[in-house]
Amino acid sequence: MNVKELKDVVIRFSGDSGDGMQLTGTLFSDTAALFGNGISTFPDYPAEIRAPQGTVAGVSGFQVHFGSSRMLTPGDYCDVLIAMNPAALKANVMWLKKDATIILDGDSLDEKSIARAGFKTNDPLEELGIKEYNILTPDITSMTKEVLKDSGLDNKAIVKCKNMFALGICLFLYDKPLDHATAYIRTKFGKKNPAVAEANVAVLNAGWNYAHNTHSFANTYTVQPAELEKGCYRSISGNVATAWGFMAASEKSGRPLFCGSYPITPATVILEELAKHKELGVKTVQAEDEIAGICTSIGAAFGGAFAVTTTSGPGLSLKSEAMGLAVIAELPLVVVDVQRGGPSTGLPTKTEQSDLMQALWGRNGECPMVVLAASSPSDCFDFAFTAGKIAMEHMTPVVLLTDGFIANGSQPWKIPSMSDYPTINPPIITELPEDEPVYMPYKRDEKLARRWALPGTEGLEHRIGGLEKDALKGSVSHDPKNHQLMVHTRAAKVAKVVDYIPEQKVMGPEEGELLVVGWGGTKGHLQATVEKMQAEGKSVALCHFNYINPLPKGVEKIFARYKKIVVCELNEGQFANYLRMNFQQFHYEQYNKCQGLPFTTVELEAKFNELLEK
């Protein structure tokens, strides 16, 4: 058997949503990460928890991209497809590279399964036109049953172990050890059900041995560890990083963290994660609805907590009125919107960037808010932290946009030290200043932030609310000039944040033919494409935005140095239009996609080459 060395590999694990494909993929990617490979992952699962078995609608997938360098994307197309049934094969055939290897459970090639997947004939391989691919059909189910025939488990429990057989094959194929998966299984299931844990371990080993002994594979492959920066690493998903970033902001501000939230895909994991960390004083309220989610958080902010609320598009719609209350009450609050395909319920488990306009403008009245967007699973930590810092120091609500792709995806993350993060200094007032006979709740500092007087503090009793405020006293005011002043002041306060954020940067040549512009979660794909084209000597640069409102300084200077600008986003052109509004002097080309999927580097490269050649 030959051992070939590869730079990077994309494996897609795919099966019924009950087949445990997310776990299988995670165990593989963690094993690769522990070995030192660069990794990027992309779970792709259906909205239904258990769609009808064996149907294309019920296929759940998990893609792992690992390699001997830093992986910026989970990969466009896969080198290896693990398909636990014909439906998984059918659902993923579009994601195969030309020379891909397919490992399909041979036991699933029965008439019933083939029919369930919606094939017209009894030969799915012929029907899909993939006969020339490298297809292996080990009888995974029956071998799993054989391994566990004396295990004492019932048939249902035995069949559930078959994903470990597939994992064993993959670990063998890519020269990876079984230790991590074995240890994980024993920790996860060992206590509750040692028999199930040992059955899974046995099947994992059987899969590895099968691949080793049968010589079904002409080659095995090694992928060298990536040359990553020295240090201690962990794997982190965007949602967990977001939760931890908030906790970090809480620690650095000394304000206890409060999260009022209502479960919604794909944001729920942030609430789940925060609910775990009571040891760091985090308080969570699983509210009765989205509105109560934000309103409990607004109440907590008034009470002196660093308050956050988490949601996705439909929930952001429901929170709109309360976001306006946070704006007029001038309380610190972070609203996370993990964007998904819309409108309405749309595509709950699929990614999109189509809530940008809603985040910027989706409220009644002149209602400006700071809007930030994270761009990778791990930088969700930094932007959650920054969102908290801005909210508390500028006394303003902040929208943090992430998306289903970076929220569910994970990557290795060099563990930061909290000493590298700045202290957060909210403008808390603890006693009545000498020059104020009574407390003036809308008096402002140099940031235009009002002060935060926490209930319980003597001498600072004051009233706030949703009615227009007197510019100083905070009492109700219907005075026309006061309203005009307050509208201007609220806008100026948000605009002033620009002085406290970094200048806009560009990756690549200082000037040139084509400037690729993106924002938020598309960064990995845009950067991978641009870097590849730059290596080929093409005049392409990337200007990627994390600060949306206010836009950072320096944007116009950058835009002016390139002949063409193309704005790429997973919507129909919301950021492009926002840029047109802010910087009318430039012409913006667009590349848009609304398929519930991330960009592929292939399609981006084709578009950029076309623009370069035009």
Sites of contact with another protein (CB under 8 A): 30, 33-34, 36, 225, 228-235, 244, 247-248, 251, 256, 258, 260, 277-283, 285, 287-289, 291-292, 295-305, 307, 321-322, 324-325, 329, 415-418, 454-467, 475-476
Q: Which is nearer to another protein, 165 or 258 (CB)?
A: 258
Least Å distance, CB 251 to another protein, is: 5
Q: Which C-beta is closer to another protein: that of 123 or that of 289?
A: 289
In three-state form (DSSP H/G/I as H, E/B as E, the rest C), the secondary structure along 385-454 is HHHHHHHHHHCCEEEEEEEHHHHHCEEEEECCCHHHCCCCCCCEECCCCCCCCCCCCCCECCCCCECEEC
Query: Of 199 and 287, which CB lies nearer to another protein in the complex structure?
Result: 287
Q: How far is the CB of 570 from another protein (least distance, A)?
A: 30
Amino acid at 429: I
* Nearest CB to another protein, comparing residues 415 and 560: 415
Looking at beta carbons only, is 62 or 421 nearer to another protein? Answer: 421
Apex 608 CA angle, 607 and 610, nearest 5: 65
Helix (H, G, I), strand (E, B) or coil at 379: helix
Rounded to a whole number of angstroms, the minimum distance from the CB of residue 67 to another protein is 15
State the SS3 of 393-405.
HHCCEEEEEEEHH
* DSSP secondary structure letters along 15-77: EETTS-HHHHHHHHHHHHHHHT-EEEEEEE--SSSSPSTTSGGGEEEEEEEEESS---SS-SS
Q: Which is nearer to another protein, 29 or 574 (CB)?
A: 29
Which one, 133 or 258, has the nearer CB to another protein?
258
Provide the greatest CA pair distance for the chain.
Answer: 87
Contact, 31 vs 181, CB < 8 A?
A: yes
Residue number with CB closer to another protein (25 or 550): 25
Residue (279 or 434) nearer to another protein, CB: 279
> What is d(CA 203, CA 148) in angstroms, rounded to the nearest whole number?
8
Residue 75 and residue 392: Cα distance in Å, rounded? 38
Q: Which amino acid is at 125?
A: L
Min separation Cβ 609 and another protein, Å: 35
To another protein, the closest distance from the beta carbon of 420 in angstroms equals 11
Question: Could you tell me if 201 and 186 are in contact, meaning their C-beta atoms sit under 8 angstroms apart?
Answer: yes
Q: What are phi and psi of 57, to 5 degrees?
A: -65, -25
φ and ψ of 403, to 5 deg: -155, 165
- Closest approach, Cβ 480 to another protein, in A, equals 19
| Cα distances (Å, whole numbers) of residue 310 to 40, 315, 399, 572 | 24, 9, 10, 25
- Which residue number, 162 or 469, has a Cβ lying nearer to another protein? 469
Nearest approach, Cβ of residue 474 and another protein (Å): 10
Question: Cα-flanking dihedrals φ and ψ of residue 109, to 5°?
Answer: -85, 45
Comparing CB distances to another protein, the nearer of 27 and 89 is: 27
Query: At 175, which amino acid appears?
Result: D
- Nearer of residues 67 and 404 to another protein, judged by Cβ: 67
* Shortest separation between residue 442's beta carbon and another protein, angstroms: 14
Strands 59-67 and 8-16: antiparallel
Task: Look at residues 207, 219, 140 and name the one whose alpha carbon lies nearest to residue 168.
Answer: 207
Radius of gyration of the chain (CA): 26
In whole angstroms, the minimum distance from the beta carbon of 397 to another protein comes to 14
How far apart are the C-alpha atoms of 391 and 235, rounded to whole Å? 28
434 Cβ contact partners less than 8 Å away, ≥ 6 residues apart: none
Residue 392 C-beta: closest distance to another protein, Å:
14
Is-contact 12 95, C-beta < 8 A? yes
φ/ψ (deg, to 5) at 45: -125, 160
- Least distance (Å) from another protein to the CB of residue 196? 22
Question: Closest distance between another protein and the C-beta of residue 139, in Å?
Answer: 33
Identity of the residue, 301 or 373, whose beta carbon is nearer to another protein in the bound complex:
301
- Give DSSP secondary structure letters for 501-550: SPPP--BS-SSEEEEEEEEGGGHHHHHHHHHHHHHTT--EEEEEESEEES
Least distance (Å) from another protein to the CB of residue 233? Answer: 5
Asked whether the beta carbons of 195 and 152 are under 8 A apart, the reply is: yes
Q: Shortest distance, CB of residue 256 to another protein, whole angstroms?
A: 7
Give the residue with the Cβ less far from another protein, 140 or 336: 336
CB of 308 to another protein, least distance (A): 11
**531: which 2 tokens?**
């870097």
- Distances in Å between the alpha carbon of 208 and those of 54, 171, 270? 26, 7, 35
Q: 140 and 120 in contact (C-beta within 8 Å)?
A: no
Q: Which residue's CB is nearer to another protein, number 103 or number 295?
A: 295
